[in-house]
A and B are shown apart, each in its own frame.
Chain A
């Protein structure tokens, strides 16, 4: 379980994350939604120790993310942010191999190689394994990074807007894959999503943030409601049940 207590971050005078206390349950998919500037990505960055917090604590299965050993944490929790620009020239399989670094510190064992192969085939990247990253499309590169994170084989996988740059087909493919990873590989997936329909359809748990605070949380039925959406996004959003799923209509 990831436990955040009183997590706070401000840039100058602006309070971006305001005393967020949250328990993210083990297993399943948790999505964090909310308008731009709600502090979702900032919160995720602090949970994954990429960003120092001004106050508060975060523990992952009891390990404090700021005080604990960072190499130990890398075996429990992985994070993927939106833009990953890499200066070095790497092939897809080079990149995926880096996912084993927390376990083998650069000396790949036979077991590591099996993990790498499995991650590459899980993302359907076999044909691209020897291609350089700068020769790939945005969506392919995104999949390569997700393969690296899966190869890291952590219980917790944190993804900041993983559907950016992806077309409908690949977005659906990515969400299905994360669902499979949660169900088959027993991963706990935490996502920041902008598309509330993807959040509604694929998540077990939704956390709704607004102005640096958690305003609602719970299973999709409790969160994806016209009243919550109106409060958070300031829009009149109709929520329909289509094929047993809650779909919000917000286009006009």
Chain B
């Protein structure tokens, strides 16, 4: 990788230096993002801290860790999903992945009953739910993305229909169950960044680690896949197998983020597209870290600003979805203009 000279970097920072602003190398961009992410984490851990550090550090540390884990899981799953489906507008959330997970959780409560669900070992429950998620996601989404459906707008429509379908089905089951059991379910479904389930952190971290190791080995073939299905096959990539593997990993990562904080529909879209903008490279080895760092900056930094500076509570996902939603409309309109 050729390193940029100092002069071009300085010139890039000056305004009006042509249409291509900021030709910083991908490594420099990642370094800047990493610094910002660390600053956000330090800010979250220290600003407004009162009382004993031995309490604050583990308490806030668990929150930070879950935000980092969720940000990373959403960034990695979105970028891989977009490469596998050869588009930059659809994300797992837009295609209804997290509503599918919510449906699986609801089904568990429906058939197990609220008491046994609540007393069920949460780690085992997570493993079971994630397993079901991977199975159903592959069953439902593989045919959609194997090249059979080519129109982007048809895919968006399919995603919306699937999302509504899963949500209505969960809604129906939620109305059928006992109100007490519904309270148990609500606890699981409407988690936010403030109320992180500590027992899930360990098993989610393990799941993310395994998914990352598998994903990392796929990066070179994912780079090839970003050329499109036909070029990927020409270059000897087993397209069907790779797309299936990617969808499986995406299902695991979506399970993690949805189990920890609930659905954040447009965060993935926001961070992946920001990463494509700032990283002037097609390589996943650069795009994925950048997207993950941007996600961490958005989540942790946004939480610091909202909670500590403005004193709001749990409005972050609304703001992220608002900005991400605008981005979605912008991308959709731009793509239909072409």
Contacts and interface: CB of A to CB of B under 8 A. Distances in A.
A70 interface: yes
Contacts of A99: 235
Interface residues of B, number: 23
A87 B87 contact: yes
Contacts of B223: 98, 106
A89 interface: yes
B233 A49 contact: yes
B220 A90 contact: no
Contacts of A84: 227-228, 230-231
B236 interface: yes
A19 interface: no
Interface in B275-305: 276, 280-282
Contacts of B178: none
B317 interface: no
A88 B282 contact: yes
A74 interface: yes
B234 to A, nearest CB: 5
A78 interface: yes
Contacts of B86: 87
Given A87-B87, A105-B220, A106-B220, A70 B236 contact: yes
Interface of B: 86-88, 219-221, 223-224, 226-228, 230-231, 233-238, 276, 280-282
Interface string A72-115: 11110011110011111110001100110110011100000000
B280 to A, nearest CB: 7
Contact of A86 (B220, B228, B280): B228
Nearest to A95: B227
Interface of A: 48-50, 70-75, 78-81, 84-90, 94-95, 98-99, 101-102, 105-107, 149, 152
B236 A86 contact: no
A94 B228 contact: no
Contacts of A95: 227
Contact of B236 (A74, A87, A90, A107): A74
Nearest to B238: A70
Contacts of B237: 70-71
Given A70-B238, A74-B235, A50 B230 contact: yes
A75 B280 CA distance: 29
A102 B233 contact: no
24 contacts: A50-B233, A50-B234, A70-B233, A71-B237, A72-B236, A73-B236, A75-B236, A85-B228, A87-B86, A87-B228, A88-B227, A88-B282, A90-B282, A95-B227, A98-B224, A98-B235, A101-B220, A101-B224, A101-B235, A102-B235, A105-B221, A106-B220, A106-B221, A106-B223
Contact of A102 (B87, B236, B238): B236
A68 B232 CA distance: 16
A79 B87 contact: no
Contacts of B235: 74, 98-99, 101-102, 152
